[in-house]
Amino acid sequence: MTAQSPSPVFTAQFNINDQEFSLAGVLRPHSTAEIADDLLLLRNGIETVSGVLYVNLKRVTHMNSTAFRALTRVLVDASRLRPEIKFVVVASSVVAWAARMFRHLSDLSPNIALEIYDSAFYPGQTFVENKSFIPILRTQTKMTWRHEREILPRHGLRNGMVIADICCGIGDFAMLVRKEFGPARIVALDHSSPSLDYARDVAERFDVRDIEYTYGDASQMLFESDQFDFVTCRHSLQIFDRPELLLRELYRICKPGGRVYITNEKNSHCLGEPRADSIQWTYNEVAKLFSHFDMDVEMGPKSLRLLLDAGFEAVKMESFMVTNLDGDPQEFADVIAAWRDVYAGEMSVRRGDSAEFIERFKQGFADHIFAALHPKGYAGWPIWAASGRKPL
């Protein structure tokens, strides 16, 4: 059962299959009467459910006190009339007011709970926010950009487009796209405050004022649907435990006829020479390590299937190898050293690996660095780039 609110600025829906009442948009009624139909929809929904009822506020950007009081009144009354039901209010940390306003509901009724949806949604976020890792992301982007600046036009990026860079990290890719392709508008969103702080600081130092850096949850974005010509999301699907949710959002915000561009890795295909066997063993273990934390750094070749399953058409896919021969070999070595410090450091320790394993794990990275810096050596890091068009 689904119903639409009469207000043009927000929607209210009840999904009986998910037992979920959801609100989205700006909820600022002058009186309770303005949202009476929506409250009735909620009351009627409560009568049909058993077990758990979810109240989804992930996309509510604003809510005034009139709406808050009316909604909580319905929930508190219902929780007392039907104590066998658990009421779960689901909010996102992106709209911090929601957590503040609703966190006291459980004091009014013990069978009402608040759940912060995205608090544990990004299993890899704590690792990529490692302070020693953030600066190296600039070097990574610099090395991949040598390839991507040529690849992106083949995937449809043109001057003057409206662009969104989702999971923008420290913002360097948005900065490079802005300089190279002169977008009409560019928005860069990430769920990491330290990364966005870094991005804004760099932009300020370079006097760049037209990149809209935004804090947000990539799986529940507050952007309107169908508004971007070109949406990028690089190296991020692979660190989500539910990449299909992120792809669904990328699809939603892309205009019909626009394209979504993604990049992902296959870490077990990292290679080097000399000491190839040691290097190969370590990167096979990297893939297993990420899998332990519900991340898939083997995702690159799966991009075609992922985009088609998400509803995209005219999918284009190619791969490229970042190597020590692309520029300064020391830059490649610096990237590997950063990987070693995080993967064989915090991640391996948190998994509970033995000292013997960690020592051998580190040796593979050391051998990769050796190969990168050896005058006759070769070291490679493969990446898959793919894009799909949203049907008209």
- Cα 352 to its chain centre, rounded Å, is 27
Q: Say which CATH number the domain at 227 has.
A: 3.40.50.150
Whether 185 maps to a domain, the answer reads yes
d(CA 363, CA 269): 17
- Choosing from 117, 140, 162, the residue where a domain stops is 117
Residue 1 lies in a domain: no
Same structural domain, 349 and 242? yes
Using CA atoms, how far apart are residues 113 and 104, in angstroms rounded to an integer? Answer: 9
- Interior CA angle at 167 toward 162 and 173, to 5°? 65
Long-range contacts made by residues 173-179, C-beta under 8 angstroms, separation at least 24? Answer: 173/141, 173/145, 173/232, 173/234, 174/199, 174/211, 174/213, 175/202, 175/203, 175/206, 175/208, 175/211, 176/141, 176/145, 176/149, 177/152, 177/232, 178/208, 178/210, 178/211
Last residue of a domain, one of 62, 97, 117: 117
Assigned token pair, 384? 């898959």
- Looking only at the bridges linking them, the beta strands covering 162-166 and 185-190 are parallel
| Domain C-terminal end among 93, 117, 141 | 117
Predicted local distance difference test score (pLDDT) of residue 99: 77
pLDDT at residue 285 in the model: 97
Identify the CA nearest to 384 among candidates 183, 234, 256.
Answer: 234
Q: Give the predicted TM-score (pTM) of the model.
A: 0.82
State how far the Cα of 377 lies from the Cα of 157, in Å rounded to an integer.
35
* Euclidean distance between CA atoms 272 and 371, whole angstroms: 6
Domain membership of residue 5 (yes or no) is no
The structural domain count of the chain equals 2
CA 13 to chain centre: 25
Range of the domain at 155: 125-390
Same domain, 212 and 320: yes
Q: Count of alpha carbons within 13 Å of 379, Cβ hemisphere only?
A: 28
* Claim to verify: residue 276 and residue 202 sit in the same structural domain: yes
* Pairwise CA distance, residues 34 & 47, whole Å: 22
390 DSSP assignment: P
pLDDT at 24: 87
Q: Is 147 within a domain? A: yes
Per-residue pLDDT of the chain (392 residues; tens, 9 = 90+): 444 444 458 899 999 888 999 998 888 899 999 999 999 999 999 999 988 999 998 888 888 889 999 999 999 999 999 999 999 998 887 777 777 888 788 888 889 988 887 655 565 566 666 666 676 788 889 899 999 999 999 999 999 999 999 999 899 999 999 999 999 999 999 988 888 988 999 899 889 999 999 998 888 898 999 999 999 999 999 988 889 999 999 999 999 999 999 999 999 999 999 999 999 999 999 999 999 998 999 999 999 999 999 999 999 999 999 999 988 999 999 999 989 998 999 899 999 999 999 999 999 999 999 999 999 999 999 999 999 999 99
